[in-house]
Amino acid sequence: MENTAALEIEKIRQDFPILHQEVNGKPLIYFDNAATSQKPRVVIEALDTYYTKNNANIHRGAHYLAAKSTADYESTREAIRQFLHAAQVEEIIFTRGVTEAVNLVASTWGRKFIQEGDEIILTEMEHHSNIVPWQLLAEEKGALLKVVPITDQGELILEAFQALLSPRTKLVSVVHVSNALGTVNPVQEIIRQAHQAGAVVFVDGAQASVHLEIDVQALDCDFYAFSGHKVYAPTGIGALYGKRAWLEQMPPYHGGGEMIKEVSFSRTTYNEIPHKFEAGTPNIADAIAFKNALDYVNQLGKNRIAAHEADLLAYATARLQEIPGLQIVGTATEKISVISFVIAGAHHGDLGTLLDMQGIAIRTGHHCTQPLMQRLGLSGTARVSFALYNTRQEIDALMVALQKAVRMLA
C-alpha cells in the first residue's frame, strides 16, 4: 500500500550535509532549488565509492572493475526507465542534462525530418535551452517558429495553440513545468492535439520530473528530457527518453568510440540504440550516483514529497502577500514549487543581494526566459523555489529577511 504519512523533514535534513552551515554569518536557507537541488549523503558517498573502489571505463574492458562499473551504469539506465515509466530501457539515452537533450534531438531528428517551410511550435514560457536549439535548426532549414501565447496569470492559451496547429506543424516542444512561473502545463492534452495534427512532441521535464509522477507512455510524448541535478543527483548527467521508432530512424549525434558497430575509412556502421547516441567515455561516476538519487526519491515517495512541497507553496504564497507592494508573477491554477515575485520600488537584484547577506539563497533575474519576461513587461523577478528539505520555519525567516530588505530599499 502507498505510504501517505507526512515526511519527517528534520530527519531528512540530516541527509543533506550542505544545509548545516552558516553563510554570511547566518544559517543557510536554500531556496534556489529550481536552479539545482542539494545532494543527499547517499549520492555524495556513491561518487566517493565509485572513485575509491570501482573506477573503470565501461562497455569495453575485460576485467572485474570494467564489468562492475558497466553494470552499475546500466542499472541507472534501468532506474531511469522506471522513473519515467518508459517501455524499454533502450529508449533511455544519457545526456548532460536537458540542454544537451534538446540539442541532440534538434541536431539529429531535426536535421533529418525538418524541411523548408515546416513549422515548430514553442511557447512563450520556454527556457532558452528549449528555444535556441530550435532557432538554430529553423535558420539552417528555413523552417518557422510559432509561439503559443500565455495569459497574464501565466497559463498557456490552448485555443491559440489549436489555431497554430496545421499540416505544416512538424514539432511541438513544450515545457512541462515553467521554471519562472511554476505553471504546470496540460502536456497530455497538448500531445494529443499535436499528434492529431501529425506533429511530434518534445517535453522539457527539467522542473517537472522532481515534483510530478512522470509516465511517458501515458503521456504518449515522443521525447521527454530531464536533468539529474534537479532531482538530487550530481551535475553533468541527465536523460533523454525517445520512442524507439524515432531513435532508430535518427542519425547519431556525436561521432566517436562506442557509438559504432564497424569503422573503415570508406564506411561506418552505427551501434544499436541507445549506444548510437553515447559516443566516447561518458560521465560514468555521475551516472552511477544518479541511481542513488532516484532511489532516494522513490524511497521517500514522490506523493509524500509533493504533499510537503504543496504545503510550502501554499504557505509561502499566503505569507508573501503580507508584504505591501509585492506581486506574485505566475498565478496559474496548476502550479508547483516555484514563486516568482516583484516588489514595487525594490529591484529584484538588490533583493537577492540583501537576502544573501542574511544567509538566504534565492535566484533573481530573467531565469533564462527572456521572451517570457518581455511578454510580462519585466526585467526579471525574484524567485524562491522549494525542495523536500525546506520548511515553514525557513519561509518565516524569509519573511523577516524580506521585510528588512524592503525597509532598507524603501
Could you list the residues that contact ligand 7TS (CB under 6 A)? Answer: 34-35, 97-99, 127, 129-130, 175, 179, 204, 206-207, 227, 363, 367-368
Tell me how far, at minimum, the Cβ of 227 lies from ligand 7TS, in Å.
Answer: 3
Q: Which residue lies nearer to ligand 7TS by CB, 129 or 337?
A: 129
Q: Which residue lies nearer to ligand 7TS by CB, 234 or 406?
A: 234
Q: Give 81's Cβ-side CA count (13 Å radius).
A: 17
Q: Which residue lies nearer to ligand 7TS by CB, 175 or 355?
A: 175
Per the annotation, the verdict on 368 as an active-site residue is yes
Catalytic position from the list 368, 382, 398, 401: 368
Q: Which residue has the cell 561516476?
A: 285
118: DSSP letter: -
What is the amino acid identity at position 375? Answer: R
The span from the CA of 273 to the CA of 270, in Å, is 9
Cell of 409: 530599499
- Residue 284, classed as helix, strand or coil, is helix
Cell of 267: 564506411
Tell me how far, at minimum, the Cβ of 123 lies from ligand 7TS, in Å.
Answer: 11
Tell me how far, at minimum, the Cβ of 399 lies from ligand 7TS, in Å.
Answer: 23
E strands in 223-264:
223-227, 238-242, 260-263
Closest CA to 395 of 405, 385, 404: 385
Tell me how far, at minimum, the Cβ of 337 lies from ligand 7TS, in Å.
Answer: 11
Q: Which residue lies nearer to ligand 7TS by CB, 103 or 292?
A: 103
Tell me how far, at minimum, the Cβ of 368 lies from ligand 7TS, in Å.
Answer: 6
The span from the CA of 30 to the CA of 385, in Å, is 9
CA dihedral 397, 400, 404, 410 (to 10 degrees): 120
The span from the CA of 26 to the CA of 196, in Å, is 55
Q: Which residue lies nearer to ligand 7TS by CB, 97 or 252?
A: 97
The span from the CA of 80 to the CA of 69, in Å, is 17
Residue pair 58/287 in contact (Cβ under 8 Å)? The answer is no
Q: Which residues are annotated as catalytic?
A: 368
